[in-house]
Structure 1
């Protein structure tokens, strides 16, 4: 019994150490590669729509942050990125419709509706940027998601910074902490092992 307790204490200590290391590495990820305050475009990273096709809470808050940044003059264009990755609704279309409903001119909103994950969000958005000869972007997502996005953005040569959307007011503190924990673990693995080989990620 005593040996079992000691083993539990050792395992708990190791888990606690790994959790602290993961949190430090997560918080240490840079949130920009430039000092720019104005950009060629905003990139709003996708999130699944609700089952009825309306914007889900995180999708809504990401889009609304894009709208605020656009109206503040941070960039003259928006790229909404995200395909039908988790249900039949194309995330980028839902976000575009919400942005336009909030007064953003439809002609400045570009839709990228292919991406199935964050790596592809950045990959396809960069293709749109290159086609328009744009060289800088502010990337908008949920606060917990941005460190992982930044690890992907480090593979690209354009100038970027990240911008966190507010948490949905309907999210509890436990939900917010849970999302940070999941992303911290994900980023810890990526920094330790690197990204798997992907045609969507420049080396």
Structure 2
């Protein structure tokens, strides 16, 4: 009886380890780039909803401020701010552009992409802008927990739509405690397993890899 109990306990422990380890390993092993380049034609900043008063929320603020740092460091001479009024009536691209310009980025270096409703569309419409301007490389900036899923989307850009890319994480907002950060990462880790197993399905704005 004791041996049976230990055997069952072992099964439970192994199952629990698999439940936690598989998503984390899947999440952490998603490639973050397809190039070793250090400089790019543009930065792409993925949008996040503005606050109810139209000001940048903590994640949006950190994404833009990271882009400003990268711009000042000479990583790219242009910034595409991507995001429509997907969650409220404030256009994310406009709010982000205003913040970047307030931080000293020249207005002629900032492009507002104001059509995207989600991450898939962020990349699609930003790539359209890149093609129009003859740009073939980008550093994509977003919150750290969001970037593995973004990389899975970027991997679909092959053939005529291919471009050189890497992802780059903004800082966690100081307003976010440790537990909130864990929740965000865990939710995305679970989602990454599903996406790696089943893909995104047919999406209008996602090239078929």
Q: How does the TM-score come out when normalised to structure 1?
A: 0.94
**Equivalences for residues 165-180 of structure 1 within 5 A:** 165-180=170-185
Where 2:145 maps in the other structure, the secondary structure is coil
| Alpha-carbon offset, residue 199 of structure 1 | 1.2
1:35 & 1:175 partners in 2: Cα distance?
Answer: 32
Name the residue aligned to 2:70: 69
Classify 1:17/1:96 alpha carbon distance in 2 versus 1 (closer, same or farther; 3 Å). Answer: same
Where 1:87 maps in the other structure, the secondary structure is coil
Q: How does the TM-score come out when normalised to structure 2?
A: 0.91
**Equivalences for residues 1-203 of structure 1 within 5 A:** 13-156=14-157, 157-203=162-208
Which runs of no fewer than 5 residues in structure 1 stay unpaired? 1-5
Where 2:55 maps in the other structure, the secondary structure is coil
The superposition leaves residues 135-178 of structure 1 with CA deviations (integer Å, 9 ceiling, x where unpaired) of: 00000000000000000001111000011000011110011111
| Alpha-carbon offset, residue 10 of structure 1 | 5.5
| Alpha-carbon offset, residue 86 of structure 1 | 1.1
The superposition leaves residues 43-62 of structure 1 with CA deviations (integer Å, 9 ceiling, x where unpaired) of: 00011111110000000000
Where 2:61 maps in the other structure, the secondary structure is helix
Calculate the aligned-residue CA RMSD, in Å: 1.9
> How many residues in Structure 1 have an aligned counterpart in Structure 2?
201
Please identify runs of 4+ aligned residues in structure 1 that moved more than 2 A. Answer: 6-16
Classify 1:73/1:128 alpha carbon distance in 2 versus 1 (closer, same or farther; 3 Å). Answer: same
